[in-house]
Structure formats: C-alpha cells, structure tokens
Amino acid sequence: MSDGVTHFLTGEELSSEELSALLSRAHELKQDPAGSRVLSGRSVALIFEKPSTRTRVSFETGVHELDGHPLILRGEEMQLSRGESVRDTAYVLSRHVAAIGIRTGRHATAQELAKNASVPVINMLTDEHHPCQALADLMTLQETFGGLEGLRLGYVGDGNNVARSLAILGARAGLQVTVAAPVGYQLAPVAGARLTDDPREAAEGADALYTDVWVGMGDEPATAEARREALAPYRIDEALLARASDRAIVLHCLPAHPGEEITEGLLYGPRQRIWDQAENRRHAQKALLERLLAVV
C-alpha cells in the first residue's frame, strides 16, 4: 500500500502480509497512543452522510492522536447535498487534506470519490462494505486468542456489509468464517467463506459468535417487522452460545438492541468482547492511516 496513492474501500486492497503488519502496528499504537505523529500539521476530511457514534468518535480522536486535524463534514453541510458532483468534491478536498474518509450509502459513491481523489480515501461505511469494523474485529480476536490462523468465527443474522467485510478480511487472516442468514437475507458468495441458513451450523465449535442489528440505517421502515420475523431464529442467545467452543466469545459491531439480535445477558456478560471492539476501531484506523500515508 506504500507505492503511490492507495485507497481502502473493501479490504481486498490488503494482502495477507499487509493485513498482518497493519494489525501488529495497531497493537503497538494501542500500547502507545502517542507513538505516531504521521499527521503532524495535516488534516483529514471525514464525510458523514450517515449518522455515527463509534466511527466518528474513533476517527476523530484517532486523527487527533496522530497529531492531525479531523475535519468533520456532515452531508447536509456540504455542496454534495445541493447537487455538486462527487468528482468535484474529490478534486477540491484533495487540494487541502492528507486523506479522506467517507461514511455513506451507495458504495459507488465511495468508489467515485476514490477514482477522482489524489489522496487516500477510506471507506468508513457503505451499504456493501464496512472494512474498518472488520480490522477492529480481527484485532480483538488477536487480543483474545493470541493469533488468528484457524480460528472459527460464526456470523449469525443479516448477510449485510459487516458480514461481507468479515468474510473478506477474515479469509485473508486465516479465519474460517461461516455466515448464517435466512433466505432473502443471505450474503452473496465470498471466497473462503461458508454460507448457510442454519445458525446452529455457524455456532458449532466456533471460537467467536458475531451478530449485527436486524433493522439497519439503510432498511426501509415498512420492512422492519418482516425483517424481525425472518431473523428471529438467528438471535445469539445462551442456547446458541452453548454450541460454540467452551472458550468462545461474543462480538457485535453495535449499536445493539438487546432482546432482538442478542440477549442482554450476553451483550453485557463476561464472554463478550464487544466494548473492546468499539475501542479497537481507533487503534486499527490509526494504523491504517499511517500505512496509507506510507510512514510506519
């Protein structure tokens, strides 16, 4: 990723070796938050066309810890909301900032931004991918188990952007990822991932069980009840966790709705590493920014 401008849109930009090095650096930065000044005197534009808690907080504080200035741009405040093209936005921002992050709906918007920007562009979330979340997930698994190769991760629920990024980056890290989702909500095939409609199959012997909300930001309110009905058998509860390994942990990218996709007892219980995931967003993203800017 150090040869010229490179973007991070899906996670597929990273080889297995690059991913391993990035995660190692993330652990170093977690131990020494002020250990890099790669952004000293520079700014990073962070475009938020969708609401955010963890993404905004982790990126904004992370850029600050890298000694840079996070420039928060909300969608309704930008000329994009009044018809300015993504191309023109990319041209302008590239003249002022060291990198651009975007949290939006259509993945094509992030692709168009990256195509026209002369600085690195980071996908902070699109409807198809959430690769920064997956980086934090892998970091959390490393912290828990000491390594990643051969770990079994069962994702249960909607086959959405989070599931896709886990499948892509998990395969690069040597994980065995199984995604269990009902018909109509299944993930399109991803190399290295196993797909099923049986949540028990995904949980059997797993080292980690993972879920996400049943009704997300991009889902139509009119479909909410139908989604909840279809996904109800895919709740992570104590019975499903009992099928996993004795050492299994529970993961969730948040926000959570206890009683829907996960029980309250697991969300706040001793086997979850959910709040570590939320913190690790910052450290993994700092390592990513550092690597994209070719200073390690």
Q: Where are the domains of the chain?
A: 16-130+281-292, 131-278
Does the annotation mark 212 as catalytic?
yes
The 10s digit of each residue's pLDDT in 226-244 is 999 999 999 999 999 999 9
Question: Which one is catalytic: 56, 130, 172, 283?
Answer: 130
Amino acid letter, residue 164: R
Among 3.40.190.80, 3.40.50.720, 3.40.50.300, 3.40.50.1370, name the CATH number for the domain at 131-278.
Answer: 3.40.50.1370
The 10s digit of each residue's pLDDT in 7-23 is 999 999 999 999 999 99
* Alpha-helical regions (H) of the chain: 16-31, 54-65, 86-94, 107-116, 131-145, 161-173, 199-203, 224-231, 238-241, 264-267, 274-292
The 10s digit of each residue's pLDDT in 113-131 is 999 999 999 999 999 999 9
Question: Which one is catalytic: 133, 176, 277, 285?
Answer: 133
Does the annotation mark 130 as catalytic?
yes
Question: Which one is catalytic: 25, 103, 227, 291?
Answer: 103
* Cis status, amide bond into 131, omega within 30 of 0: no
The 10s digit of each residue's pLDDT in 169-213 is 999 999 999 999 999 999 999 999 999 999 999 999 999 999 999
Does the annotation mark 37 as catalytic?
no
> Residue 2 — very low, low, confident or very high, per pLDDT cuts 50/70/90?
very low
What pLDDT shows up at residue 180? 98
What pLDDT shows up at residue 5? 65
Higher pLDDT, 211 or 220: 211
> Rounded distance, CA 35 to CA 258, Å?
37
Mean pLDDT of the chain: 95
Does the annotation mark 276 as catalytic?
no
Question: Which one is catalytic: 111, 212, 252, 291?
Answer: 212
What pLDDT shows up at residue 43? 98
> Rounded distance, CA 154 to CA 176, Å?
8
Question: Which one is catalytic: 176, 227, 253, 282?
Answer: 253
Residue 1 pLDDT greater than 60, yes or no:
no
> CB of 155 within 8 A of CB of 179?
yes
Is there a shared CATH topology between the 16-130+281-292 domain and the 131-278 domain? Answer: yes
Task: Name 56's Cβ contacts closer than 8 Å, sequence gap at least 6.
Answer: 46, 48, 72
The number of angstroms, rounded, from the C-alpha of 105 to the middle of its chain's C-alpha atoms is 14
Q: Is this prediction's pTM over 0.85?
A: yes
Query: Closest Cα partner for 11 from 192, 132, 102?
Result: 132
Does the annotation mark 103 as catalytic?
yes
Question: Which one is catalytic: 25, 152, 164, 281?
Answer: 281
Task: Specify the DSSP class assigned to residue 2.
Answer: -
Q: What is the dihedral of CA 211, 152, 165, 254, to 10 degrees?
A: 30
Task: Name 157's Cβ contacts closer than 8 Å, sequence gap at least 6.
Answer: 163, 180, 181, 185, 211, 212, 214, 231, 234, 261
* Residue 122, strand partner residues: 8, 101
**Planar angle of CA 210, 212, 214, nearest 5 degrees:** 135
CATH number of 16-130+281-292: 3.40.50.1370
Amino acid letter, residue 25: R
